[in-house]
Chains A and B, each alone.
Chain A
């Protein structure tokens, strides 16, 4: 089926709303409020400062966590992917701790870092950082070895590997070659980040969409809870869209 991208997304959204509506009819408004009711409430919430404060708080925590993850994991992934000695040391450490569910460390972080934003941001950064690290390392390792040879020959310093050469290679080869991997990993990480955010916001805080959801749930206010869920979904969707835009902007050769 060939039709415009926005149309296909609109159709998919409509189909999801239909399923939701069917579920709402089957379960009743106390268990699952209908999409119409939820959207009306959501629109009303958009006019309140409290909703935007929660949305802003959640966005801030996500941005900080993901930003920290990229700043650490992207260079680390490049280093492991291109330097065999660094990889020999780091890979066992990474892969022993990679399967560990980082989420269980939340209480530990609360103990060490207090009940502020730091443990929440750190949890997001740690979980998504591993995903970014593993994918960027793999992308770097998959670089055609000929690329390095060709680049050296162009620089006219066959065999030489001074510091200036390393910087030039990073700039012209290693970083651009790893960017598609970075954006792929970010798309995966955004989904994880929102999930971790919810958990990190459901304890010991009175701000953020996660708190809003848990608070409404505690009060038995199903419609209000779904407003929070819808807000969190849209936040995840917006971040995913941002990743796609970033990929288009930073990897323009991929859509040529």
Chain B
């Protein structure tokens, strides 16, 4: 079954003029959209609208599931999952209980929950820690737990709101690698909000640069580089980063700055 998430003339107005200029785009299953912009530019608003946590003032978000080869499309609520910067792990629940909470709330029985939880703990590299409290984990372990909890119920869409911005640079890179691995093993459409250029270019198969007030799409960049091995080491990575940077600062690169001309 295939899946498509589209925004149609999506906009949001909190009463004092629009925060977001009408925005339209379509994400196919497995695509990773990175939304980048300055703090307060409306990227979290966009995330709220796409996830259905916020109602748009105009326009709408459509989610279509295409069954088999017939091409018939059905609209239903997607299963969505979130990871926020502050993670939202519950301190009064052990690692295992935190991890399986989405399954428990979905009514999955204890045996089924634990089977999936132990497979996930394996994937997260958290084996043997299932009886620990979140407070006794390292920052990176907590972050992996939050990612695992978001993915354990096999969501159709994963929303990440600056998930790694509280981490030091090295831990952040390691977690970006880790997240990419998790996502590549699934066909989970992802929307990531970030203010880190490297993170957007590393994780996003498409990069949306938001700028201005009200926020509008300053650039839409296709980024086939994302997901390739050692992408951070490649010249195209730096070029893409410069294009994002240029779009963020309001200028645009001249033609001679295309990849061949990278110094």
| A→B interface (CB under 8 Å) | 144, 146-147, 149-151, 153-156, 158-159, 168, 172-173, 176-177, 179, 251-253, 256
A149 contact from B52, B79, B88, B91, Cβ within 8 A: B88
SS class, residues of chain B in contact with chain A: loop
B178 within 8 A of A: no
B80 touches A147 (CB 8 A): no
Residues of A within 8 A of B79 (CB): 156
Residues of B within 8 A of A150 (CB): 82, 84, 88
Among the 9-residue stretches B24-32, B56-64, B130-138, B220-228, the one with 4 or more Cβ atoms under 8 Å from chain A is: B130-138
B132 contact from A144, A155, A251, A256, Cβ within 8 A: A256
B80 touches A172 (CB 8 A): no
Q: How far is the CB of A143 from chain B (nearest CB, A)?
A: 11
Q: How far is the CB of B150 from chain A (nearest CB, A)?
A: 9
CB contact list, B72-92 vs A, under 8 A: 77, 79-82, 84, 86, 88, 90-92
Residues of A within 8 A of B101 (CB): 154, 172
Residues of B within 8 A of A256 (CB): 132-133, 135-136
Q: How far is the CB of B254 from chain A (nearest CB, A)?
A: 44
B105 within 8 A of A: yes
Residues of A within 8 A of B93 (CB): 172, 176, 253
A176 touches B53 (CB 8 A): no
Q: A154-B105, A176-B90 are in contact. Are A146 and B133 (CB under 8 A)?
A: no
CA–CA, A85 and B149, complex, Å: 33
Q: Mark B88-114, 1 if CB is under 8 A from A, else 0.
A: 101111100000011001100000000
B48 to chain A: closest residue by CB: A158
A176 touches B92 (CB 8 A): yes
A158 touches B51 (CB 8 A): yes
A144 to chain B: closest residue by CB: B86
B105 touches A168 (CB 8 A): yes
Q: Count how many pairs of residues, one from A and one from B, have CB atoms less than 8 Å apart in the complex.
A: 60
Residues of B within 8 A of A159 (CB): 52-53
A147 touches B90 (CB 8 A): yes
Q: Mark B13-24, 1 if CB is under 8 A from A, else 0.
A: 000000000000
A177 to chain B: closest residue by CB: B92
B153 to chain A: closest residue by CB: A156
SS class, residues of chain A in contact with chain B: helix
Q: How far is the CB of A30 from chain B (nearest CB, A)?
A: 55
| B→A interface (CB under 8 Å) | 51-53, 77, 79-82, 84, 86, 88, 90-94, 101-102, 105-106, 132-133, 135-136, 149, 153
A250 to chain B: closest residue by CB: B92
Residues of B within 8 A of A158 (CB): 51-53, 80
Q: How far is the CB of B193 from chain A (nearest CB, A)?
A: 15
Q: A150-B82, A150-B88, A172-B101 are in contact. Are A156 and B133 (CB under 8 A)?
A: no
Residues of A within 8 A of B91 (CB): 253
Q: How far is the CB of B44 from chain A (nearest CB, A)?
A: 12
A156 touches B80 (CB 8 A): yes
Q: Which of B77, B80, B82 has the most CB of A within 10 A?
A: B82
A172 touches B90 (CB 8 A): yes
Closest 9 pairs (CB-CB, A-B): A150-B88, A176-B92, A256-B133, A153-B82, A253-B133, A155-B105, A158-B53, A154-B102, A256-B136
Q: How far is the CB of B157 from chain A (nearest CB, A)?
A: 11
Residues of A within 8 A of B135 (CB): 253, 256
Residues of A within 8 A of B132 (CB): 256
A156 contact from B106, B136, B149, Cβ within 8 A: B106
Q: A146-B84, A150-B82 are in contact. Are A156 and B92 (CB under 8 A)?
A: no
Q: A159-B52, A253-B133, A253-B135 are in contact. Are A146 and B105 (CB under 8 A)?
A: no
Residues of B within 8 A of A168 (CB): 105
Q: Which of B86, B88, B133, B153 has the most CB of A within 10 A?
A: B88
A-B contact pairs, 11 of them (CB 8 A): A146-B88, A147-B88, A150-B82, A153-B51, A156-B102, A158-B52, A172-B93, A172-B101, A176-B93, A253-B91, A253-B94
Residues of B within 8 A of A155 (CB): 102, 105
Residues of B within 8 A of A176 (CB): 90, 92-93
CA–CA, A146 and B82, complex, Å: 12
Q: How far is the CB of B136 from chain A (nearest CB, A)?
A: 5
